[in-house]
């Protein structure tokens, strides 16, 4: 059974937060590019150097929205760091030839900003 782009992205998030680097490495294409306000356009090796340690800094993550549009998957998630200040981020993840080729992360506000 062939996986959808959304399935691939869900597997990426599960593996990242489980600390399964081998699976994350296998899901990312060799020419993978990552971008955020802090790390614009970094390559796969730099991603593992700078971003990979973040999986240890979060207690949990919940994918609240996953939408496919062409080769892109848009994901909104809530995560909780050790201080308990839950926050939301969004990502645009591009999938091509069965691998993740790009991720763009957009930082959101603390989850409390959405409470009543």
- State pLDDT tens for residues 92-104: 999 999 999 999 9
* Domains held by the chain: number: 1
Q: Domain residues for 87?
A: 5-114
CATH number of the CATH domain containing 85: 3.10.450.50
How far is C-alpha 46 from the geometric centre of its chain's CA atoms? 15
Of the candidates 98, 76, 75, 71, the one whose C-alpha atom is nearest the C-alpha of residue 87 is 76
Q: Is residue 116's pLDDT more than 60?
A: no
Of the candidates 11, 2, 12, 1, the one whose C-alpha atom is nearest the C-alpha of residue 105 is 12
pLDDT in tens, 16-45: 988 999 999 999 999 999 999 989 999 999
Q: Is residue 59's pLDDT more than 90?
A: no
- Distance, in Å, from the CA atom of 84 to the CA atom of 102, rounded to the nearest integer, reads 29
């Amino acid at each position: 059974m062939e996986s959808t782009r959304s399935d691939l992205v869900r597997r990426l998030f599960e593996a990242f937060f489980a600390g399964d680097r081998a699976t994350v490495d296998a899901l990312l294409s060799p020419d993978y590019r990552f971008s955020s306000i802090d790390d614009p356009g970094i390559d796969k090796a730099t991603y593992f150097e700078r971003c990979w340690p973040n999986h240890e800094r979060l207690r949990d993550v919940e994918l609240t929205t996953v939408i496919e549009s062409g080769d892109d998957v848009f994901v909104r998630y809530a995560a909780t760091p050790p201080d308990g200040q839950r926050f939301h981020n969004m990502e645009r993840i591009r999938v091509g030839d069965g691998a993740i080729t790009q991720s763009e992360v957009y930082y959101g506000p603390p989850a409390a900003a959405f409470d009543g």
